[in-house]
Amino acid sequence: MLDRIRIVLVQTFHPGNIGASARAMKTMGLSDLVLVNPRQFPDEDATRLAAGASDLIDDCRVVGSLSEAVGDCVQVIGASARLRSLPLPCYDGPDVMMEDAAKRLEEGRIAIVFGRERYGLTNEEIGHCTHQLTIPANPDYGILNLSQAVQIVAYEAFRQANRRENAKPALSAGGPYPTVEQLEHFHAHLHQALSAAGFLNQPHAKTEAHLRALFARAEPSRKELSILRGVLAALEKSGEPR
């Protein structure tokens, strides 16, 4: 289970936080670390604060975009201190998140995404996620250091793995789920079909953002997504001149 959980750090400013996050991961058995456009890496501070987890630093992947970091995952969870105007399905705590995420790990990897130290993830980056996660904290001072947030999530992953070690994980009723890359192909197809039909004539209405949120909440399976692609193809064909 643990080898299918990916931690993604987006544009980390302080390299020491990368090292501390790697250490937090290794203490809980996680090893898949991906960095998206870190400000400074490799760096001595990252290696020093990783302590005994320098192998995670050496083996981590550095990519240029969030979509590249999560495209092969069946679930992408954005850790965010606040909800956006179009909230995705949200887990109110890492324990609830891991209990649900564990059901999907038979189908593929899941990614948990952490944003910048100062202001977290952008709305556009949240748009690459399928779910959100909030970590309950003191309402008067709920600011967690990046590596502390990673440690909390990694602990819950470790606890869930131990709980399920002797039990066969069951697929949820809706699975198997598509990867994020497959979902992006669907949304591109949907955009093409709606544009051809003249439906997207009011860009300010954020129609596509609403549709993305709708399908994120619906969590279509791969079979259901294939049916939707078939519906779009049939509608496109029916609109062709005869």
The DSSP secondary structure of 183-234, one letter per residue, reads HHHHHHHHHHHHHHTT----GGG-HHHHHHHHHHHH---HHHHHHHHHHHHH
Tallying the residues shown for the chain, one arrives at: 242
Same structural domain for residues 122 and 16? yes
Burial class (CB in 10 A: 0-12, 13-18, 19+), 56: buried
- pLDDT over 90, % of the chain: 52
pLDDT tens digit sequence for 138-153: 989 888 999 999 999 9
Query: Does residue 61 contact residue 35 with C-beta atoms inside 8 Å?
Result: yes
Same structural domain for residues 135 and 188? no
Same structural domain for residues 187 and 156? no
Same structural domain for residues 73 and 189? no
Same structural domain for residues 160 and 185? no
CATH number of the domain encompassing residue 157? 3.40.1280.10
In whole angstroms, give the CA distance from residue 177 to residue 215: 12
Which residues form the domain of 22?
2-164
Same structural domain for residues 116 and 23? yes
Q: Of the ranges 181-185, 194-198, 236-240, which one carries the lowest mean pLDDT score? A: 236-240
What was the pLDDT predicted at 234? Answer: 87
The CA distances from residue 92 to 8, 80, 166, in Å, are: 20, 11, 27
Same structural domain for residues 137 and 223? no
φ, ψ of residue 223 in degrees (nearest 5):
-65, -45
Query: 171 lies in a domain?
Result: no
pLDDT tens digit sequence for 66-109: 999 999 999 999 998 655 565 688 899 999 999 998 888 888 99
Query: 172 lies in a domain?
Result: no
Number of domains in the chain: 2
Query: 212 lies in a domain?
Result: yes
Query: 34 lies in a domain?
Result: yes
CATH number of the domain encompassing residue 199? 1.10.8.590
Instruction: Look over the chain and give the mean of its residue pLDDT values, rounded to a whole number.
Output: 88
Query: 68 lies in a domain?
Result: yes
Query: 84 lies in a domain?
Result: yes
Same structural domain for residues 22 and 103? yes
Same structural domain for residues 85 and 40? yes
Same structural domain for residues 90 and 205? no
Same structural domain for residues 32 and 140? yes
Same structural domain for residues 130 and 208? no
Query: 170 lies in a domain?
Result: no
Stated pTM of the model: 0.76
Query: 175 lies in a domain?
Result: no
